[in-house]
Structure 1
């Protein structure tokens, strides 16, 4: 029975039919996949070695001090210019007060030069009058000497008096010239000593302002490592401010995938955070000039006997659609799956045009000196001598 069933022609036909159907299905699926690869996949390169990047603006101390206030912690939203940290400003206030006192003292000392100039001019006029009198006395005695009405000794004394008066005039003129060399024909405000003292006041004021540490940009606090009571020094990194945008992707493609990648090509990206529900649209804006290993602290040395070739990866920068990023915010360091459509080869491998506007900027930390300049002018005016002050 078993031998007859297995040799049944009908069974053989059914088995052959199923084999034929399976073969046809396999061929159709293979052809459809080949067509899909030729139409769609053939013109794309993909990588899952891609990560979100963005701006990380460090908050650093610019003066020495002890922390007395920390206003924000990690994940807090801060606006540009808001106070993040306060330092004890006692020493800075004392230095500022000393600088203003020194400026007042320098103004008073320097103004003496202007007063001396007036005195030297008066002295020159006085000595010139004395010289004129001495010359007249000598001329009279010289006329009388011809008549033997005065002695030779008296005539010599008159001549000596005239010569001494001449010397007094020359000395007074030299003193005046030396004084003018110090004044150099500029106003009190422009005197080097006054300007130097004023700059010291400005520097002390700037140092005082820097005891209040502000946010350089609008963003979220991250990597905060400062506490009340901490002693900070210049260049101490206290925290990082991360703005929600701009955000971009650094996609690390294998060097074997780079030959068709061009600037301007469209790209799609899927994050592990949102999954397939969100597909970000973007474009290639640049290809890095070196691999990660080439820019590492200790780059690989391949001139060794046991060298093994490893396929390198090159970061490709993908700029994302801003509206999508605003709707579905990303975080720095998140993993992404990136696909680039490389069928359009009109773009450049390297950028040929320069950026015309700054990529990112903020003036939140720029100190205006207008207020301290007003204070400096007031100090100079208050310590400037005026004859009307005695009346």
Structure 2
């Protein structure tokens, strides 16, 4: 007897792989969505670097270097002596200029005295003319009675002619002298002004043989050497004010839509790691992309064109106390994150600065000290008496 064959049990399909795939897709979408939500109101970049002022120290006069007051990595204060040039030639010129000013003052005094002398001579000549005119008139009245001879009258007329000629010559001499001093004082005399200007020039040239630091900071890029002959305008070294640094963050052009002046930023320096956090504020966006101001801008109108995402420099100011606690150096890499939630600020600066951004007073007293020296020389050589302050014809 044959046993009947049982029918095979159907295999149920497995849905486990499909479920895992769906779960993975859901998790991926959730991660992407969360990342997108976290990215809202915030823009970040690691293409950011510390920037600052590199103040060049240059010579204003030529000379030979005799002293160097600091070297690379040294800290220097403003007004501190950095470089000294051989002052011998400048001192000789300065002494010569002093002597020339003293001589010009004394010569101007002589011209004023000569004018006064000629004015007195003119008065004397005028008296002589009046006396001669009176003599001629009296003798002419007595000539009718025969009391005075014709010869005596002729002699009186000759005396009058000589007196008139003497008056005319003296008046011309006075006019020549007045042309040199008319409507001037001793301090405004042309010769004195020229000599005073030369003395100021010589004094300033002597002062500039000593080169002072215009700002406080660290010395870098020193190229000058003792014994070197330098010319005006040559860069000797640079001084970097470490307390005046900022960050240039280069954001992609797709990131700048919500960037505004005044927005806060959080920064981290690779030099200090993630533990040290700097806080900053956007103070301005550049007028163009980095490539627009490069030495050789791209020529996109020629050849095959490939779109490259451009970056716009954004300047971020840092807090002074944080820079003092953790000093930064120029060129250090930074990671920047800007809170773009508040978009009420300006996109670009539209107002001019109310005061200079940077300045130095190291050259402020040059002319003041030179003027004081000029006044000293003039006072030592001017008239102790009452010289006429102004003379008119």
- What TM-score results when the alignment is normalised by the length of structure 2? 0.88
**C-alpha separation between the residues in 2 aligned to 1:327 and 1:376?**
49
User: What is the correspondence of 1:208-357 to structure 2 with a 5 Å cutoff?
Assistant: 208-357=206-355
Cα gap change, 1:126 to 1:97, in 2 (>3 Å): same
**C-alpha separation between the residues in 2 aligned to 1:326 and 1:20?**
58
Find the partner of 1:146 among 138, 144, 147. Answer: 144
- CA drift of 1:182 comes to 2.1
- CA drift of 1:59 comes to 0.5
**C-alpha separation between the residues in 1 aligned to 2:159 and 2:199?**
53
Question: Counterpart of 1:206 in 2: which secondary structure?
Answer: helix
1:62-105 residue CA offsets vs partner (Å, 9 max, x unmatched): 10011111110011011100001111111111111111111112
**C-alpha separation between the residues in 2 aligned to 1:261 and 1:312?**
16
Aligned to 2:381: 383
Aligned to 2:3: none
Q: Which is further off, 72-81 or 358-367?
A: 358-367
Aligned to 1:44: 42
Cα gap change, 1:302 to 1:147, in 2 (>3 Å): farther
Aligned to 1:27: 26
Q: Which is further off, 288-297 or 70-79?
A: 288-297
- CA drift of 1:26 comes to 6.6
Find the partner of 2:192 among 182, 191, 194. Answer: 194
Are the equivalent residues in 1 in contact too, given 2:69–2:82 (CA < 8 A)?
yes
Q: Which is further off, 180-189 or 365-374?
A: 365-374
Please list every run of 5 or more consecutive structure 1 residues that lacks an aligned counterpart in the other structure: 1-6
Aligned to 1:181: 179
**C-alpha separation between the residues in 1 aligned to 2:137 and 2:169?**
24
- CA drift of 1:316 comes to 0.6
**C-alpha separation between the residues in 1 aligned to 2:241 and 2:174?**
64
**C-alpha separation between the residues in 2 aligned to 1:232 and 1:197?**
28
Please list every run of 5 or more consecutive structure 2 residues that lacks an aligned counterpart in the other structure: 1-8, 387-393
After superposition, the CA RMSD in angstroms is 2.6
1:112-131 residue CA offsets vs partner (Å, 9 max, x unmatched): 21111121122012212211
Aligned to 1:364: 362
**C-alpha separation between the residues in 2 aligned to 1:300 and 1:193?**
61
1:319-352 residue CA offsets vs partner (Å, 9 max, x unmatched): 1122211111110111112122222211111113
**C-alpha separation between the residues in 2 aligned to 1:37 and 1:293?**
29
Find the partner of 2:117 among 116, 119, 141. Answer: 119
**C-alpha separation between the residues in 2 aligned to 1:60 and 1:368?**
16
- CA drift of 1:184 comes to 2.4
Query: Is 1:157–2:162 an aligned residue pair?
Result: no
**C-alpha separation between the residues in 2 aligned to 1:296 and 1:20?**
54
Are the equivalent residues in 1 in contact too, given 2:204–2:370 (CA < 8 A)?
no
- What TM-score results when the alignment is normalised by the length of structure 1? 0.88
Q: Which is further off, 134-143 or 26-35?
A: 26-35
**C-alpha separation between the residues in 2 aligned to 1:144 and 1:86?**
89
Question: Counterpart of 1:362 in 2: which secondary structure?
Answer: coil
Are the equivalent residues in 2 in contact too, given 1:214–1:365 (CA < 8 A)?
no
Question: Counterpart of 2:254 in 1: which secondary structure?
Answer: helix
Query: Is 1:91–2:58 an aligned residue pair?
Result: no
1:295-336 residue CA offsets vs partner (Å, 9 max, x unmatched): 233433333234443322211101112221111111011111
Q: Which is further off, 346-355 or 18-27?
A: 18-27
**C-alpha separation between the residues in 2 aligned to 1:159 and 1:266?**
104
1:140-161 residue CA offsets vs partner (Å, 9 max, x unmatched): 3212322234443442332232
Query: Is 1:74–2:99 an aligned residue pair?
Result: no
**C-alpha separation between the residues in 2 aligned to 1:91 and 1:292?**
49
Cα gap change, 1:302 to 1:342, in 2 (>3 Å): same
How many residue pairs align between the two structures? 377
Q: Which is further off, 337-346 or 293-302?
A: 293-302
- CA drift of 1:25 comes to 6.9
**C-alpha separation between the residues in 2 aligned to 1:330 and 1:305?**
43
**C-alpha separation between the residues in 1 aligned to 2:291 and 2:267?**
25
Q: Which has the higher helix share?
A: 1
Question: Counterpart of 1:171 in 2: which secondary structure?
Answer: helix
